[in-house]
A and B are shown apart, each in its own frame.
Chain A
Amino acid sequence: MSVHSPIEQFVIQNLIPVHIGGFDLSFTNSSLWMVIGAIVSVGFLTIAMRRHAVVPGRMQMMAEMLYEFVARMVQENVGKGGRKYFPLIFTTFVFVLMGNVLGLLPNSFTYTSHLIVTGALALFIFFTVIFFGFYNHGLKFFSLFLPPNVPWWLVAFIVPIEVISFFVRPVTLSVRLFANMMAGHLILKVVMGFAVSAATMGAAWTLLGLFPVLVDVALLLFECLVAVIQAYVFAILCCVYLKDTVDLHH
């Protein structure tokens, strides 16, 4: 019986190898699941809004709830000027949510469990913040690193700390999502590995092997919670970071 190492679920397989100019742009299982996530989210929203009646049906209610949830989040955290960031936040939230939730299906692939994906998302948000920060506020954007009414002798300490905390944002943003998704799925496989190895050791042990399965059920429920919450936290932190481009400290 091939020993199924827990890390095997994160291995990227090239489904359609495409090599262009020395670059390996092949269509991998990660991009396959990204396409599936896109199809599922776009499909759900179009089907739900097909008969957009004033009195919403069940499907339309679900789509509206998703929309209002993100709209309220953007409204609360980015304020008036945040209206123009709503599409960005909504897309990021649905993309990460699809990645996390679809990743819970058996032998599917969680594309958010790779640092490269979460890193790309976080860096994209980070450069958006920098671009719009300078676009809206010009050089005054640097006042971000000097919060108001700080005593003069503290300035020498506050500014470096603020600069560091500004640049650590994409790192924490991406590592949090990456570690949660990878470690969560890893623990699921490791615990199930105990049940499998118990089962191979004879009948009496198989009964004992039932216990890790129950633990695994509880872990999977916890993973469902973590999947949705991490998508929510990722989106809300993007809102918080975009808030600086709208109003600086006031």
Chain B
Amino acid sequence: MELEAAKLIAGALVVLPAFGSALGLGMYFSSYNNAIGRNPEAKKQLDEKFFLILAFVEALGIIPIGIGAAMLFGG
């Protein structure tokens, strides 16, 4: 198997963790909506940390895509 083919396969495989991040995002949003549904007054407290945690979960999904892209299009 030539290097090129291996690199393409590796570039594709490295993006699999994005599946976990998508799952995490789904669970995060559903628990956010449940919490607001149960106790609407808590919205203010929840919103303080909402974007911070969203960025963390999102970053874990984008980092493998970044690495995959760097491998595929990079050196």
Contacts and interface: CB of A to CB of B under 8 A. Distances in A.
B52 A233 contact: yes
B51 A232 contact: yes
A229 B73 contact: no
A219 to B, nearest CB: 12
B66 interface: yes
Contacts of A226: 55, 58, 62
Interface of A: 5-7, 175-176, 178-180, 182-184, 186-187, 226, 229-230, 232-233, 236
A179 B55 contact: no
Given A179-B63, A187-B65, A233 B70 contact: no
B70 A182 contact: yes
B67 interface: yes
How large, as a class, is the contact surface on chain B? 10 to 19
B66 A179 contact: yes
B65 A183 contact: yes
A7 B74 contact: yes
B22 interface: no
B32 to A, nearest CB: 15
B56 interface: yes
Interface string B18-51: 0000000000000000000000000000000001
A226 to B, nearest CB: 7
Contact of B55 (A7, A182, A233): A233
B58 A182 contact: no
Contacts of A180: 58-59, 62-63, 66
Nearest to B49: A236
Nearest to B51: A229
Contacts of B59: 176, 179-180, 230, 233
B12 interface: no
B54 interface: yes
Contact of B54 (A176, A178, A229): A229
Contacts of B62: 179-180, 183-184, 226
A245 to B, nearest CB: 21
Contacts of A5: 73
Contacts of A178: 66
A236 B65 contact: no
Nearest to B66: A179
